[in-house]
Amino acid sequence: MCDNNVIIVWNGFSEHVSGVFRTFRHEKALQDVILYCEGQFINSHKLLLASCSEVFRRIFLERANAYHLIRLVGFRYVDVSLLLDFIYNGEMALSQKQLPSLKQAALKLEIKSLANLVTSPERVSEQEADEQDTLSSAT
């Protein structure tokens, strides 16, 4: 007997998820990780960080059930905040002067789609580069 499959499509799914991510960036609900950088705390979500950063993914998989406090040593708060804007919103706005330090942070954290930055006046796209991370994790 042949069973006919049914496919149900959620029209507007991508827009919905994008909107939820934007909302989550500033809401305090459901946060399960704290980033500590330059004396400031940034609450976030493991799922989103792990989906966009191999470094965060490895940290979270090593200690899957722990609530994490991650000290970002050698990172600037402004760069981390911009990277989170990119992770949650798919875009970020910054000055040309901020690009060098942002590039370093993106490389260290292995942020997907930003790991290889090319500078252009209006848009940032991908190019080849190579660096290591300096961060420590505490649970």
Cα separation, 38 vs 101, whole angstroms: 14
Question: Structurally, how many domains does the chain consist of?
Answer: 1
Cα separation, 27 vs 68, whole angstroms: 18
Axis-axis angle for helices 77-89, 99-109 (nearest 10): 70
40 lies in which domain range? 13-137
Residue 118 maps to a domain: yes
Residue 4 maps to a domain: no
pTM for the whole thing?
Answer: 0.75
> What pLDDT, in 10s, does the model give residues 7-64?
899 999 999 998 988 888 888 788 889 999 999 999 999 999 999 999 999 999 988 7
Residue 1 maps to a domain: no
Residue 5 maps to a domain: no
34 burial level (CB within 10 Å; 0-12, 13-18, 19+): middle
Q: Residue 48: what pLDDT?
A: 93
Whether 126 shows a pLDDT value over 90: the answer reads no
Indicate the range of 11-20, 61-70, 101-110 predicted with least confidence.
61-70
